[in-house]
Amino acid sequence: MPAPGRHDKITPEEAAKTIRSMAGHWSDTDIAAALNRMRVTTAHGHTWTADRVRRYRWEYKLPSLKTRTGGDEILTLAEAADRLRVSRHVVRKLIRHGLLPARQAVAKAPWRIRAVDL
């Protein structure tokens, strides 16, 4: 039996891996959206919210987007499209054909594009 205020539920490994890889690079809202697109639930079977991601990060001492320091300026797909003055579809096509380097922490996560690569 768990201690008072605790439970014996465990966050699915796919969710834990996704949060660890996206923490510090994406907002909690973006992380929750990626988890929900992946159809991964919380330990209690709920959908993810920014607050649930924040609590997970806090419990496991993972960085938030605000605490990230240094490094290259990272853009979302929409921000890259705005800077290039093209549609999001065009940016996806450039990524797909290897003409624009971009990363995803996990499948279905938002694309990360370095501003210097535009």
Q: What angle do CA 112, 113, 118 make, to 5 degrees?
A: 170
Is residue 112 helix, strand or coil?
strand
| The overall pTM is greater than 0.85 | no
- Could you report the per-residue pLDDT of 34-87, keeping only the tens digit for each? 999 999 999 999 999 999 999 999 999 999 886 555 567 888 899 999 999 999
With H, G, I as helix, E, B as strand and everything else as coil, classify residue 74: strand
Q: How far apart are CA 77 and CA 81, in angstroms?
A: 6
Instruction: Identify any residues that bridge with 23 across adjacent strands, giving them in sequence order.
Output: 26
